[in-house]
Amino acid sequence: MSNYTIQNPALNPNRVFILQKSELEKSLSPLYYSTLPKKLSHSKKLKEIAIVNPTRERPKFNDNDLVPYVGLPQTDEHSKSIIEVVLRPYKEVKGRNIIYPNELLFARIEPSIFNKKYILTKDLKGYDFAFTSTEFYVVKGKYVDNEYLLANFLSDYVYKQVEGKTTGSTGRRRLDTEVFADLIFPFPEINARKKVSEIITEFFTQKQKNEAEADKLLSSIDDYLLNELGIKLPEPPENTLKNRMFTRSLKEISNNRFDPFFHQNYFENIYLAISNSRYNTTPLKKIISSYSKGVEVGSSEYLQEGIPFVRVADITDFSINWLDADKKISEHKFNELKKCYKPKIGEILYSKDGTIGFCVVVQKEDDYVISSGILRISCNRTFDNYLLKYILSSKVYKQLADRVSIGTVIKHLTIEDWLNLPIPVPPLNKQKEIAEHITGIRQQAQQLKNKTTELLKKASEEIEQILLG
């Protein structure tokens, strides 16, 4: 930048600077120039040390085949990891990039890019590959390991470049491919690079320990819930030919589903266990004051930028990932739909198509609408909404929901049968006690996740010191 001195005392010298015409590059944005990296004795562009969106042979599938997929909602910016791999019809994802284990995903669009949603694909949950969102760049190191690349993406030196070089309207800024490939990385001698990789590896090792503790806490929730409700579940039978064979009378299956899965003994025993619970039971429909499903807007309404359109893939038992929703609609369309399809605080969202049984309570009001694959549920005054969420999220009630679903490639909940599921009804004060205890367990698990975030911050500070001295 120019060596001219700003004389006017009314101007903040830390925010105002002068450029000569010869110093102008591709942008007229002040942020672009204020975030240019300082020159280092050893540096390289990303494209010199890594491949961005590597070209790969496309596997052969039929359009309706279910294939592994990782989108923005399936990843976690705090742990830099894949949370889950979901299954999507091939026709929905066939034009997208493919990832393999031990590669990098870099979110290229706001807000994920500024939340540092940069993911190391150490584990694809047992899959050899997965398709991924077009909102990710796939990055693979050439002669540096991916831990070193991730460490650089997390450093202020690289992040400030990202911050300054994104383009587009506020709220939907993104980083173009050419600009991304030209990001400048510190490239010290090999021992320093190895040290950086070791720090990242150590972080992931500790992260796994924290996750194991958190998973142990979360897996205890079902046992606690069933014990408090007095439900003693039968042991699942061994998967033997003898146990898979059973008989039903013609009367039992008349005017009913002709389906061995639906009629198996295990489900009969679950219903018996629920009926013998500590509390009286009532059909689900009697503790719900209202329910409605979302809307389908049609693919012609989808936009690259706009208001999030939340689908089943965007919710989990823990969160509504509306900011990371793949699909967007116009503000005009949102205003047209929000009265009927924008969730309200306290409502329960429940996935009824595809992956059945994801269930989450709406905790704050945000601008998005939900797809027809999601139900909005309100409890009446006799039942605590959080307890209902925890019951419907439990493994046993997901099994019962699966039982009353139909479809082979994509499942659909039979809502009338689902609304007749028996629900134990403790006194309201006991309901709140159970719900609060489970919420406490979940908060403990979240604290372990927060520890992971703190570890990452510490690791980033160490890395910055090594890279820049």
DSSP 189-246: -HHHHHHHHHHHHHHHHHHHHHHHHHHHHHHHHHHHHHHHHT--PPPPPP--HHHH--
pLDDT the model gives residue 178: 93
Give me the CATH number covering residue 139.
3.90.220.20
Average pLDDT over residues 385-414: 93
Is-contact 149 138, C-beta < 8 A? no
Is-contact 412 406, C-beta < 8 A? yes
Which of 187, 203, 237 is the C-terminal boundary of a domain?
A: 187
State whether 300 and 155 are in the same domain: no
Average pLDDT over residues 84-96: 89
> Does residue 414 belong to any structural domain of this protein?
yes
- β-sheet bridge partners, residue 308: 328
pTM of the entire structure?
0.73
> Does residue 204 belong to any structural domain of this protein?
no
Instruction: State how far the Cα of 41 lies from the Cα of 468, in Å rounded to an integer.
Output: 10
Which of 392, 408, 425 is the C-terminal boundary of a domain?
A: 425
Those residues whose C-beta lies under 8 Å from the C-beta of residue 88, and which sit 6 or more positions away, are 66, 67, 69, 131, 313
pLDDT the model gives residue 223: 96
Say if residue 13 is preceded by a cis peptide, omega within 30 of 0: no
Is-contact 385 346, C-beta < 8 A? yes
Q: Which amino acid is at 51?
A: I
Q: 173 lies in which domain range?
A: 25-187
Q: Are strands 50-52 and 136-141 parallel, antiparallel or unpaired?
A: antiparallel
Q: What is the pLDDT of residues 37-51, one digit of tens each?
A: 566 778 999 999 999
> Does residue 259 belong to any structural domain of this protein?
no
Q: What is the pLDDT of residues 48-68, one digit of tens each?
A: 999 999 998 888 899 989 999
State whether 171 and 316 are in the same domain: no
DSSP letter assigned to residue 9: T
Q: What is the pLDDT of residues 274-330, one digit of tens each?
A: 999 999 999 999 999 999 999 999 989 998 789 999 999 899 998 999 988 889 999
> Does residue 420 belong to any structural domain of this protein?
yes
Q: Where are the alpha helices (DSSP H) in 35-169?
A: 46-49, 90-93, 146-154, 156-165
> Does residue 68 belong to any structural domain of this protein?
yes
Pick from 109, 44, 41: nearest CA to 71? 109
Is-contact 175 108, C-beta < 8 A? yes
Which of 187, 216, 243 is the C-terminal boundary of a domain?
A: 187
The end-to-end CA distance of the chain, in Å, is 23
Question: What is the number of domains present in the chain?
Answer: 2
> H or E segment at 374?
strand 374-379
